[in-house]
Amino acid sequence: MPDAIAMSGVSYHFGEQVALSDVDLRVGEGECFGLLGPNGAGKTTAIRLLNTLLPLQDGDIQLFGLDVRRQAMAVRRRLGYVPQQLSIEGALTGRENVAWFARLFDVPRRDRRGRVDEVLEMVDLSDAADRLAATYSGGMVRRLELAQALVNRPALLVLDEPTVGLDPRARDSVWARVQDMQQQYGMTVLLTTHYMEEADELCDRIALMHRGTVRAAGTPQELKDGLGAGSSLEGVFRHYTGDSLTDTKGGLRDVRATRRLG
């Protein structure tokens, strides 16, 4: 059985700005995989490459054995995606927002209404479903987006910082739903988060990214053990990314280099 995600040698640059360099990632089917890393590490870029939003410049990405370059439509059919930015059509009701995506994913007409109700129920929005989404709170928008992403029963659910701005109860319920889906269908989940305890608890495996490269990958336990007994994931994160000394050195070197040129 092919991996849910297989990225190899993936690099990406925005003009001069290198966002990813030579990233290899493998995520097995049914896994919950966490991408961690500080702001600007390249997490969102990696996600936008594998969900076909950005054109691949270097390297290869396969989802369930499908090539993102040549089989973009088939890839998209298997994806549910919640982007980092809150995004909903405020001029439609919650239900209309979800039904819209059910149509765009070709959920068969006979299943559509049931499926829409089901995911709205799942994210606890049944009561607010017929209000305009413009009247939703931030947390409600996030849950509505999750409903949109689940309505096609994706094989791979991609969540870019899905729990930012959710209260603890809502956060727990989102993860409980996601885990339900995962168990029921063997759905694979790829998520990014800045909450270490969330990653520790939910993810089967984790990759730590920094400056466009993967610095470490493994189960939370492996990563913690690698640093020494009694370490926390927080400590692992600091170890691989918070190395401010090398950062400044790099910065200085850059400055000197430009001076010499000038």
Partner 1 sequence: MSAPPAAWADTAPRGAVLLTSRIATFCLVELQRMRHDRSELVTRAIQPILWLVIFGKTFSRIKAIPTGQVPYLDYLAPGVIAQSALFIAIFYGIQIIWERDAGVLTKLLVTPTPRVALVAGKAFAAGIRAVTQAVVVLVVAALLGVGLTWNPLRLLAVVVVVVLGAAFFSCLSVTIAGVVLKRDRLMGIGQAVTMPLFFASNALYPVSIMPGWLRVISHANPLTYEVSALRALLLGLPTNLWLDFGVLTGSVVVGICAASALLGRLSR
Ligand X SMILES: Nc1ncnc2c1ncn2[C@@H]1O[C@H](COP(=O)(O)OP(=O)(O)OP(=O)(O)O)[C@@H](O)[C@H]1O
Q: Which residues bind partner 1 (CB under 8 A)?
A: 51-55, 73-74, 76-79, 81, 83, 85-89, 91-93, 96, 100-101, 103-108, 111, 118, 132, 148, 152-155, 184-187
State which residue, 24 or 100, has the beta carbon closest to partner 1. Answer: 100
State which residue, 161 or 200, has the beta carbon closest to ligand X. Answer: 161
State which residue, 141 or 208, has the beta carbon closest to partner 1. Answer: 141
Counting every residue, how long is the chain? 262
Buried b (16+ CB within 10 A) or exposed e, 149-175: bbbbbbbbbbbbbbbeebeeebbebbb
Task: Show the binding pattern over residues 19-48: x = contacts Mg ion (CB under 5 A), - = does not.
Answer: ------------------------xx----
Residues 44-83 that bind Mg ion (CB under 5 A): 44
State which residue, 114 or 138, has the beta carbon closest to ligand X. Answer: 138
CB of 81 to ligand X, least distance (A): 14
- Contact flag: residue 41 with ligand X (CB under 6 A): yes
85 contacts 161 by C-beta, under 8 angstroms: no
- Contact flag: residue 210 with ligand X (CB under 6 A): no
CB of 11 to partner 1, least distance (A): 16
Strand partners, 33: 190, 205
Q: Which two tokens stand for residue 138?
A: 């931030």
The stretch near ligand X (CB under 6 A) out of 39-47, 67-75, 164-172, 251-259 is 39-47
CB of 27 to Mg ion, least distance (A): 18
DSSP string, 8-19: EEEEEEETTEEE
Q: How far apart are CA 69 and CA 49, in angstroms?
A: 10
Task: Show the binding pattern over residues 83-102: x = contacts ligand X (CB under 6 A), - = does not.
Answer: -x------------------
State which residue, 39 or 184, has the beta carbon closest to partner 1. Answer: 184
In single-letter form, the type of residue at position 28 comes to G
The only residue of 28, 30, 40, 235 in contact with ligand X, by rule CB under 6 A:
40
CB of 195 to partner 1, least distance (A): 21
The set of residues, in sequence order, having a beta carbon less than 8 Å from that of 163 and lying 6+ positions away, is 142, 171, 174, 175, 193, 195, 198
**Beta 156-160 vs 79-82: how paired, if at all?**
parallel
Site of tokens 């001069």? 16
In the chain the first and final C-alpha atoms are separated, in Å, by 55
Q: How far apart are CA 97 and CA 109, in angstroms?
A: 16
CB of 56 to Mg ion, least distance (A): 18
Strand partners, 27: 5
Three-state DSSP state, 158? strand
Q: List contacts with ligand X (CB under 6 A).
A: 14, 17, 19, 37, 39-45, 84
Q: List contacts with Mg ion (CB under 5 A).
A: 43-44, 84
